[in-house]
Amino acid sequence: MDQQELRELESRCIQECAPWCSAACPVHVDVRAMNAAIAKGDFAAALKIFTKSVPFPGIISRVCDHPCQDSCKRGDAGSTISIRALERAAFAQAPVTKARVTPLPRKDKRVAVVGGGLSGLTASLDLAKKGYQIVLFEATDRLGGSLWDYPETELPREAILRDFDILADLSVEIRLKTSVGQDIPLSDLQKEFDAVYLGSGFGSRNEGELNVTADALVPVTQETFETNEPGVFAGGTLVRGAKERSPIRSISDGRRTAISIDRFLQKVSLTASRENEGSYETRLYTSLEGIEALPEVPLSNAPEGYSAEEAVQEAKRCLQCECMECVKVCEFLASFKGYPKKYIRQIYNNLSIVMGQRHGNKLINSCSNCGLCKEVCPEDLHMGEICIAARETMVEQGKMPPSAHEFALRDMEFSNSDKFALHRHQPGMDSSRFLFFPGCQLCASSPINVKRTYSYLAERLTGGVGLMLRCCGAPADWAGRKEEFARVVSGFEAQWLEMGKPELIVACSTCYSVFKAHLPHVKVQSLWETIDTLGLPDVPRMETFAVAVHDPCTSRHHDSIQDSVRNILRRLGYEIHELPLSRNTTECCGFGGLMYFANRELAEKTVRRRISESPLQYLAYCAMCRDQFSFEGKPAWHLLDFIFGPGDFEHAAQKGPDYSQRRENRARLKHSLLKDLWGEDVAEGRQPVKLQISEQVRDLMERRMILTEDIQEIIEWAERTGFKLVNSHSGHFLAHHTPTTVTYWVEYSPAEDGFVVHNAYSHRMEIMEELKP
């Protein structure tokens, strides 16, 4: 994944786009933040936000033509927020303080500003703050231009004068009753000053040198406000015409021209990075689902504006527009306290630093790759794919800590080793039209259901049903181990070819997705589609009840599998309840993408979130989902328990097997299938040492992902080699062993028949010291 790609992906997340109000506001007042402050009753903070963008708050909060309000998203759910009235309330309710302006050190460049209206005043202020020497020419005897035309009731004189106080802090030289064009020609200003801004109304213009258009407007370059005269800029009414009179646009013109003049005088690009100046259309998306339509809060005393209470109520109507659609539905995205745009930047930083900094590792490895984010994102952004690609890059760069996915990868290796892997034609046949592929987790969770399903398929289908036990490779794919994944896939393919390219019947939707995506030439159907077509087995079953159906996240885009599951349930007589997020918007059970191994706490939160969505018993058709729910105490069934009657699980609340049992179950399943179906006796390996493990230690081992098998190996090795420490107080032995990258420690003592395990733990460091017997 290269940096360019990451940049493009980052730009797709629109969470940081401005809300409609701010994008439409020509000076981009942060209305959302201002409203949030007012909603909390903090008018001082609200005024501070407002004045950050607006230099004349008393004037604008009364006479602004409020394009923000006209674009407000609340308009689609009730009526738009009365933004100008809230600005006025902020101004009226905040304690009166005089904002002090400290200009930058004085520069030797001089700028002439023509016109003392809002645009000229804003340009003067902004440039004076930057340290330029400003001379403001105003044809009349007072500043403010057409502001004085408003009736006193609408814009009190006192409000104008109070706002103009700000000029006193800045050394702007004001020359009243000086008409440029009449008293002083523009060409003189050009000679005397380093730049000129024409921000006057029509009364005092000088068109001589300026190529004025037929409709009597001064033509300027749109983005930069440059006229055809070098160093002369123009804005406001002179450029847009009197018809388009807008106080807030005048301020915006003054500000934008000040930026151009500053750049012009600094001899840098006038056009770079100026895309979102002035009003523009935002790309933001905000869902209105579940939003109650609310009318605006009426003014009880219109001439005075909102009271503090009314303003708080009105501000509370603000939707605080943002996207966050993916974060709302994903525990992973929510738990890192940000959103994809931020996360992609973090991933970018993580991958671009050659060594050392690995702040993003946890983030990158915690996503379950379930794809729900993409389903709800208006921009189709799939964080799962990004995290997997980042994992691949980390593996390629040698930056992936081996411990992150070590357990899952060892488990996959076990499943594809002789201890579990198996492929056979149906007993008595030498070819297979079909091949049942139960997947490693169903075999680990419920071996009896694998046997019952295989017998059922062999009985119902003609042409031979072969059996293949192994792992599809999903753990390697999720871990970003491309090479390992390719090896597993080609290992499968070799056996599949050897069996004569039979059509696959898979019980697990993860296997189904892996085969569909990576082996498109292999014909594959889901077991649920097969059973839906073949009909139910004729066996005694339990009484039916209402269930909430959980679709595994890997079934997300497979409607026909989801339909078949529901058909089967209906035929069995169950009452089906759909969870709020189901089918193509289903959620992960917390196991996918190896989230469970990289971030256990998050995986548990993810399961708990899912199981809290309905009080009903859950029905899953992925063994891992079923076991994840039951681990957290949710009564849950696997669909095969309904089809064949309870098998390994006698009741819904029964927990699935622990890690050690899961391995044991797989190995035993292979042995018993070989023996029962193919009459092959498998030589038992050497007898492992016998262990006594208390419930408490077993729980510890489960949390620490340590298998009984690991402990046996360590004790056997320690006893054989004598590499062990003795605790002189307790007399217990302490031994360690590192099968691959994780070091396991076990504290044990001999017993009459084997050993007692007192404690077991693991760590991710390599042990280098030498222990002498």
Chain residues in the site for ligand SF4 (CB under 6 A): 13-15, 19-21, 31-32, 35, 72-74, 81, 83, 318-321, 323-326, 330, 332-333, 339-341, 367-373, 376-379, 381, 383-384, 588
Q: Per-residue DSSP letters for 366-399?
A: H-----HHHHH-TT---HHHHHHHHHHHHHHTT-
CB closer to ligand SF4 out of 269 and 320: 320
Q: Are 670 and 454 in contact (CB under 8 A)?
A: no
Q: Which of 383, 311, 307, 294 is nearest to 345 (CA)?
A: 383
Closest approach of Cβ 552 to ligand SF4, in Å?
Answer: 12
Q: Which of 408, 624, 385, 417 is nearest to 517 (CA)?
A: 385
Kind of pairing between the strands at 546-550 and 575-578: parallel
CB closer to ligand SF4 out of 28 and 736: 28
CB closer to ligand SF4 out of 296 and 563: 296
CA distance 81 to 35: 9
Q: Which of 621, 589, 584 is nearest to 605 (CA)?
A: 589
Closest approach of Cβ 392 to ligand SF4, in Å?
Answer: 15
Closest approach of Cβ 234 to ligand SF4, in Å?
Answer: 32
Closest approach of Cβ 364 to ligand SF4, in Å?
Answer: 11
CA distance 75 to 66: 14
Burial of 575 (0-12, 13-18, 19+ CB in 10 A): exposed
Closest approach of Cβ 67 to ligand SF4, in Å?
Answer: 12
**CA dihedral (421, 426, 432, 433) positive or negative:** negative
Closest approach of Cβ 142 to ligand SF4, in Å?
Answer: 35
Closest approach of Cβ 208 to ligand SF4, in Å?
Answer: 45
CB closer to ligand SF4 out of 21 and 465: 21
The C-alpha angle 260, 264, 266, rounded to 5 degrees, equals: 115
Q: Are 404 and 599 in contact (CB under 8 A)?
A: no
Reduced to 3 states (helix: H, G, I; strand: E, B; else coil), residue 580 is coil
CA distance 148 to 142: 10
CB closer to ligand SF4 out of 424 and 610: 610
CB closer to ligand SF4 out of 89 and 319: 319
CB closer to ligand SF4 out of 136 and 367: 367
Closest approach of Cβ 335 to ligand SF4, in Å?
Answer: 10
Closest approach of Cβ 98 to ligand SF4, in Å?
Answer: 28
CA distance 62 to 304: 11
CB closer to ligand SF4 out of 320 and 654: 320
CB closer to ligand SF4 out of 332 and 745: 332
Q: CB neighbours of 110 closer than 8 A, spacing ≥ 6?
A: 132, 133, 134, 135, 192, 193, 194
Task: Give residue number: closest CB to ligand SF4.
Answer: 384
Helix locations, 94-148, DSSP H? 118-129
CB closer to ligand SF4 out of 330 and 527: 330
Closest approach of Cβ 296 to ligand SF4, in Å?
Answer: 11
Closest approach of Cβ 445 to ligand SF4, in Å?
Answer: 22
CB closer to ligand SF4 out of 285 and 723: 285
Q: CB neighbours of 525 closer than 8 A, spacing ≥ 6?
A: 503, 504, 505, 506
In sequence order, the β-bridge partners of residue 504 are 435, 524
